[in-house]
Amino acid sequence: MLSAPAAAFNDGRPQRPIESRLEMSRRSFLQFCATLATTLGLPKGAEAAMAQAMEAAQRPSVIWLHFQECTGCTESMLRAEHPTLEKLILDVISLDYHETLFAAAGHQVEAARKAAMERHKGKYLLVVEGAIPTRDGGIYCKVGNQTAIELTRECAKDAAAVIAIGSCASWGGMPATDPNPTGAVGVGKILNKPVVTIPGCPPNPYNFLATVVHFLTFGSLPPVDAQGRPLFAYSRLVHENCERRAHYDAGRFALAFGDDGHRKGYCLYKLGCKGPETYANCPTVLFGDAGAGTWPVGCGHPCIGCTEEGVGFSKPIHMLAKVKNVEPPALYPAIHEAQGQGATLGSAAVLAAVAGAAAGAGAMFARNLGKQHAAAEAAAKPAQREDA
């Protein structure tokens, strides 16, 4: 029997086995589901629910809007592996509107968007990529003769959930950099409904994928922080899991690009790394599926804080970060402190013997010291009489 969320998406049409749809073995597919469940911090057994939902549910319709951005979020997602995101986009979700990937254009594209919204009313996912200009009525970005504000509100009205992908859509990103001539803002600023944000420039595609699979499996988006970021991806500082953290704790820093410390992999804090004040899972998930070290700090460049509003595109790259946890982990108490059981009879006896021996040695030392002092005084008296 299907879970409630899966049944809600199922239209009764026969579907090919998931292995052929994603071009991967059954074992690899189950490993993929287990990895996603672990990433999301879900309990044991959640991978089975994910597998069932992805196999049995109709692919959820996705309307993907583009505004003030560089399309880097889409480009990054299309280049992911294990399995390829192009297979996941075509076989896990139904991408019914995406300006970059559509072969059609003009009226055809807008007609397809409106048809998908009507057919999947109340069930489709709205994904927004790019900031939304608000100055002068939003005239600085129009699609199909509608401003970005009008188009976003129209599409969000009947959406089951709204996801802002990338820093631009999340909180304004690069377009909102001072002096922000177009009045660029994030999606949440113009909507009166919750928005899940996946910040990053570009964000890790697996953070977006895990969010969508969570919605597909449980019918709801994952828990988020105060800024709408999924906790599974943005609850820990980059600094906490960085492979250079040991050098920070030991006081070993690169002072210039290409110096001896930089070549040895020392901490990049003094080169402006914003890892100590940026929340993201970059050092654990990595980026680009190209092997170990495939993220900016691993490649030798300081973190610029692109997932953190007020840091990325706001602070100069060379400016030192505000360290949110100063002390090295060695100074923190253990998670489970050992509980003492009190002194045993044997240990008390040993302690008493040691204390007694120390007291006896101290008394003997004092007695000998007194004898030496008396002998010295006696030796000094004849000399004093001869002088007299």
- Write down all domains in the chain, each with its CATH number in brackets: 4-234 (3.40.50.700), 236-328 (4.10.480.10)
Asked if residues 267 and 252 have their Cβ atoms less than 8 Å apart, the reply is: yes
pLDDT tens-digit map of 333-343: 554 555 556 55
Residue 364, Cβ neighbours under 10 Å: how many?
Answer: 10
**pLDDT over threshold 80, residue 32:** no
pTM, entire model: 0.70
With tokens 């002068």, the residue in question is 136
pLDDT tens-digit map of 100-112: 877 777 888 888 8
pLDDT tens-digit map of 70-79: 998 888 877 7
Under the banding of pLDDT at 50, 70 and 90, the label for residue 23 is: low
Asked if residues 329 and 249 have their Cβ atoms less than 8 Å apart, the reply is: yes
State the average pLDDT over residues 146-164: 94
Under the banding of pLDDT at 50, 70 and 90, the label for residue 388 is: very low
Range scoring the smallest mean pLDDT among 94-103, 145-154, 308-317:
94-103
301 DSSP β-pair partners: none
Under the banding of pLDDT at 50, 70 and 90, the label for residue 144 is: confident
Region at 226 (left for phi over 0; alpha for psi -120 to 50; beta for the rest)? alpha
Pick 156 or 381 by higher pLDDT.
156
Pairing of strands 125-129, 161-165: parallel
What residue spans of the chain are helical by DSSP H? Answer: 4-9, 18-22, 26-39, 46-56, 72-78, 85-91, 107-119, 148-156, 167-171, 205-218, 231-234, 238-241, 245-250, 260-263, 282-285, 345-387
Under the banding of pLDDT at 50, 70 and 90, the label for residue 5 is: very low
Backbone angles phi, psi at 133, to 5 degrees: -75, 140
| Residue 186, pLDDT score | 95
Residue 314, Cβ neighbours under 10 Å: how many?
Answer: 14
H/E stretch holding 129 reads strand 125-129
CA distance 158 to 137: 23
Under the banding of pLDDT at 50, 70 and 90, the label for residue 212 is: confident
| Residue 37, pLDDT score | 67
**pLDDT over threshold 90, residue 96:** no
Q: Which residues contact 203 (CB under 8 A, 6 or more apart)?
A: 73, 76, 165, 166, 167, 307
Cα 110 to Cα 165, 166, 359, distances in angstroms: 21, 23, 94
184 DSSP β-pair partners: 133
